[in-house]
Amino acid sequence: MINIQHVTKTYNNDKVVDDVSFQIKEGECTALIGPNGAGKSTLIDMIIGDRHPNSGTIESNMNQLDKKRMGILFQLSAFPDVMKVKELFMLYKSFYTNTISIEYFKEITRFNDRKMEQFATKLSGGERRILDFALAIVGNPDFVILDEPTSAMDTEMRKHFWKVIEKMKSEGKTIFYTSHYIEEVERMADRVVVLNKGKLMIDSTPRAIRHNENKTNIQIPVTYKNILNQIENVEIEEMKDVIKIITSDVNPVIQKFLALQIDFNEVEITKESLMDTIFSNDEERI
């Protein structure tokens, strides 16, 4: 377990991280989310020891913060101009005693022998990102920190990446990551930590976050527009093909639909995610 207690980081009297406390539990996948400027990268820098808090503590009970046991994927990285992929693997491998095999490295990156002989700087953006990730875990770490790991990856590569993460979870690895992709958070995270303006807003599970939000979205075809005046205490949003009904109490709406003999095959009901609400003003939100 990694214990973050009352951590504060200040720059020019501005609290970038403000009295934040939570735990990263061994063997779990924890997502750190929040709008741009929330303090996520600063918090990660303090966890890995590149920066130090002005106050508070970050401790582990089984030496998980030893950098030899950590794998770190930063949001941005660069490769030397004239190093081949295979040479990078051999270089990183030389730093550790217990490493992944070159076969597993190729499985993670999906690189064939020709690609292994290619200069890393000549790879596509998605290929460089998966290479960066594979290099981050060459040392077979117990604790992995990933800052926006799937940026630049296409949909297919992102699916492959999360299958690798699922395998690591099954092996008992502890994973801590940031993401702007809500579906990645809801699919993979055992726990979600939400920062906003440096403050801890939420520390919970994806399921609990969804169910704590009391708003429900109901979508019906625009052909039912004539019934809207019979539904009370709701918000209405009319779009091109559908009408969205937003309510904090779905039961009366459903009862009215039943009375009006609405075809429920044409009705879509979803719980509004609090994580979506947090990112509602973030241009990178999915």
CB 30 within 8 A of CB 176: yes
Q: Is 193 exposed, middle or buried (0-12, 13-18, 19+ CB in 10 A)?
A: buried
pLDDT tens for 220-262 read: 999 998 888 899 889 999 988 899 999 988 999 999 999 999 9
Q: What are phi and psi of 163, to 5 degrees?
A: -65, -40
CATH top-level class of 2-210: alpha beta
pLDDT, position 213: 64
In tens, the pLDDT along 177-213 reads: 998 888 888 788 999 999 999 999 999 988 777 766 6
Domain 213-278: give its CATH code.
3.30.70
Task: Determine the average pLDDT of the residues in 15-20.
Answer: 96
Q: What is the pLDDT of residue 212?
A: 66
Dihedral pair phi/psi, residue 48, rounded to 5°: -85, -5
Q: What is the pLDDT of residue 279?
A: 52
- Give me the residue spans of the domains in the chain: 2-210, 213-278
Q: Which residue has the tokens 């406390």?
A: 21
Mean pLDDT value across residues 120-128: 95
pLDDT of residue 278: 54
Q: Which helix (H) or strand (E) holds 252?
A: helix 250-259
Q: What is the pLDDT of residues 31-57, one digit of tens each?
A: 999 888 899 999 999 999 999 999 999
Q: Confidence band (pLDDT; 50, 70, 90) for 64? A: confident
Three-class SS state of 237: strand
Flag whether pLDDT at 285 surpasses 50.
no
